């Protein structure tokens, strides 16, 4: 057995140092970053080339996140965050298809059950029922092509009804292309009610990258999500990022169970408030108006899954 050389020990020490959490001194102000910066769980905070405009923005970053170099492998186990501690409820196993009160046009997410863990839900809509409670749904498309499903294959579905969100399993009986692409699914089985549906805003805690203005490439900084509804976010930032009515570019990731959805869109600033105790910091209310069907599904499921952590109830959509 050979002993490690001084050079080997130095390289190991250097690698361990780079993989450890960053210090404020490691992030220069006013200079492009040589590598991306991520949070303790790997969530992207700043792209390589991003520029911290001032010490206040850097202080905000370290106050709310645990910055690491994004080009280094880390072996630590990420602690549970507020966004990951609320698991879906087990629901009522006695629920029937009729109990769900699904309406024609109801938004659904569908994926093949085989190897479903970690796979995204693909949006589709309910277009009809059969007397035996079989479902007719539009065929989900992925990259412009209909999803590959074989008759006899089981599919997992999340359905958004008028009063609740449900998860269940169906068997694909047939695929039709006339007069348009649609699927014939069996009567639902293993129905679980995930959460009662209300118009609510729930607590959140995850990084939100932002870019000033509606147009442009890349992102200028990172804010912290404080609350989320089906169509908007409340974020805390190092400074007021704009005026009411102005737009931002935002990017963030939502996780519900094994599913992760990346969202990149524009947002309208609906309100701006200075935070008490930190005059330079600000809380902004953002409303999204350009979400895709898949992004809308991800937002709604994320909110409904965390209904137990309500910030407040509201009669509106935000």
Task: Tell me if 185 sits within 8 A of 135, measured CB to CB.
Answer: yes
pLDDT tens by residue, 202-249: 788 899 999 998 887 788 899 999 888 888 999 999 988 999 999 999
Q: Is 262 left (phi over 0), alpha (psi -120 to 50) or beta?
A: beta
The conformation of residue 16, written as its DSSP 8-state character, comes to H
pLDDT tens by residue, 163-208: 677 889 999 999 988 888 999 999 999 898 875 544 567 788 899 9
Backbone angles phi, psi at 58, to 5 degrees: -70, -40
DSSP alpha helix (H) spans, the chain? 6-19, 55-64, 293-305
What is the structure's pLDDT at 163?
66
What is the structure's pLDDT at 86?
35
pLDDT tens by residue, 65-91: 888 888 875 444 333 333 333 333 334
Q: How many residues are present in the chain? A: 318
Domain coordinates in residue numbering, the chain? 12-69, 98-193, 200-313
pLDDT > 80? residue 152 = yes
Is pTM beyond 0.85? Reply is: no
What is the structure's pLDDT at 187?
93
What is the structure's pLDDT at 249?
93
Q: For residue 242, say if its preceding peptide bond is cis, omega within 30 degrees of 0.
A: no
pLDDT tens by residue, 254-266: 887 667 889 999 9
Task: Tell me if 56 sits within 8 A of 275, measured CB to CB.
Answer: no
- What's the CA dihedral at 267, 269, 272, 277 to 10 degrees? 10
pLDDT tens by residue, 89-111: 334 446 788 888 888 888 788 88
pLDDT > 80? residue 25 = yes
CATH architecture of 200-313: Beta Barrel (2.40)
Containing 282, the helix (H) or strand (E) segment is: strand 282-288
Burial status of residue 66 (CB atoms within 10 A of its CB: 0-12, 13-18, 19 or more):
middle
Among 22-26, 118-122, 158-162, 299-303, the range scoring the smallest mean pLDDT is 118-122
Among 46-60, 80-94, 184-198, 278-292, the range scoring the smallest mean pLDDT is 80-94
Q: Cα–Cα distance between 228 and 251 in angstroms, integer?
A: 14
**If you average pLDDT over residues 1-21, what whole number do you get?**
50
The encoded tokens of residue 258 equal: 């094994």
pLDDT over 70, % of the chain: 76
Backbone angles phi, psi at 269, to 5 degrees: -75, 115
Superfamily of domain 98-193: Electron Transport, Fmn-binding Protein; Chain A (2.30.110.10)
pLDDT over 90, % of the chain: 22
Backbone angles phi, psi at 99, to 5 degrees: -65, -25
């Amino acid at each position: 057995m050979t002993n490690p050389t001084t050079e080997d020990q130095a390289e190991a020490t250097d690698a361990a140092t780079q993989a450890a959490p960053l210090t404020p001194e490691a992030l220069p102000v006013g200079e492009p970053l040589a590598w991306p910066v991520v949070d303790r769980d790997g969530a992207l905070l700043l792209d390589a080339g991003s520029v911290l405009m001032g010490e206040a923005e850097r202080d905000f970053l370290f106050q709310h996140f645990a910055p690491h170099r994004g080009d280094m492998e880390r072996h630590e186990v990420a602690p549970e965050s507020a966004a990951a501690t609320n698991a879906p409820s087990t629901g009522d196993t006695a629920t029937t298809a009729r109990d769900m009160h699904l309406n024609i046009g109801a938004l659904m997410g569908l994926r093949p059950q085989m190897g479903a863990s970690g796979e995204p839900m693909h949006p589709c809509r309910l277009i009809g029922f059969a007397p035996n409670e079989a479902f007719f749904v539009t065929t989900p498309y992925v990259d412009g092509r209909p999803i590959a499903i074989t008759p006899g294959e089981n599919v997992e579905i999340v359905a958004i009804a008028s009063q609740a969100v449900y998860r269940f399993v169906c068997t694909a009986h047939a695929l039709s292309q006339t007069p348009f692409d649609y699927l014939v699914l069996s009567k639902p089985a293993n129905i679980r009610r995930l959460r009662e549906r209300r118009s609510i805003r729930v607590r959140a805690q995850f990084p939100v990258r932002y870019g000033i203005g509606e147009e442009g490439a890349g992102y200028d900084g990172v804010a912290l999500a404080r609350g989320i509804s089906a169509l908007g976010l409340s974020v805390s930032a190092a400074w007021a990022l704009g005026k009411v009515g102005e737009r931002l570019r935002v990017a963030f990731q939502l996780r519900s169970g094994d599913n992760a959805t990346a969202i990149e869109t524009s947002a309208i600033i609906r309100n701006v408030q200075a935070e008490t105790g930190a005059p330079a910091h600000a809380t902004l209310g953002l409303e999204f108006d350009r979400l895709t069907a898949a992004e809308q599904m991800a937002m709604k499921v994320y909110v409904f899954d965390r209904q137990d952590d309500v910030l407040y109830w509201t009669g509106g959509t935000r």
